[in-house]
Amino acid sequence: MNNHLNEAISLLQSATQNLIDLAAIPVEEQPLRETVTNTVNQIHRAVAELLAASNPPSLDKIPPDLLIKAERLKIPLDDIEVRVAITTHHLSQFVGILNEIENRFAEIRRVREYLLVRLPDIPIEQLGSRLPVYTAADFEWTEPRLSPSELATIRSKYQIDRLLQQPPRHSANLFKQIASADLAWEQARSATQSEQLNDPELGDRE
């Protein structure tokens, strides 16, 4: 903690001295843009050191594959501002900025600055599967089990034992029974028609 505080104090003192020196130089000789840029960078690093003092920016909880990808993309993970930025934003934002840098790597001139500027703008998204996760406990039977007497009552009421003792009906036997019934019906129909033809009185009644 003290190291971060001391570093922050040193950076702020240096930034202050730069501004004091700048004010002492005649306006026409002032390196205004360069000095202001350096001073702003020092202040940004000082702020990062102060944040690190209160909340050390450890990368231990970042998945190793993401750190490997960051190194491959030339992101300086030892930089205090980068570490603070990563650890103070949602993991999905870090994933998003890595993907964005990877897709636009050829266009980005300064990866470090790009990450620091763009990371806060990356939307937070849900990581992992969006489907609910079920375990065996979700499918456990919660209804009370039936007692032996209740089971006996049900078996007797619905004659379950008699149904279990019946031989299984095969589809082939069923088809034979249907064919036999159809043949018997045709034979009976033919016999009735023959009787009507042979008996004129039956034909008149029709």
What value does the CA radius of gyration of the chain take, rounded to a whole number of Å?
44
Q: What pLDDT is attached to residue 70?
A: 95
Q: What pLDDT is attached to residue 84?
A: 94
Which residues of the chain fall short of a pLDDT of 50?
202, 206
Whole-angstrom Cα distance, residue 13 to residue 7? 10
Helical residues (DSSP H) of the chain, grouped into ranges: 2-24, 32-54, 64-72, 80-87, 91-103, 111-118, 148-157, 160-165, 171-198, 200-205
Q: Does pTM top 0.75 for this prediction?
A: no
Structure tokens at 50: 């102060």
Q: What pLDDT is attached to residue 196?
A: 60
Q: What pLDDT is attached to residue 33?
A: 82
Q: What pLDDT is attached to residue 79?
A: 94
Whole-angstrom Cα distance, residue 75 to residue 22? 33
Q: CA-based diameter of the chain, in Å?
A: 142
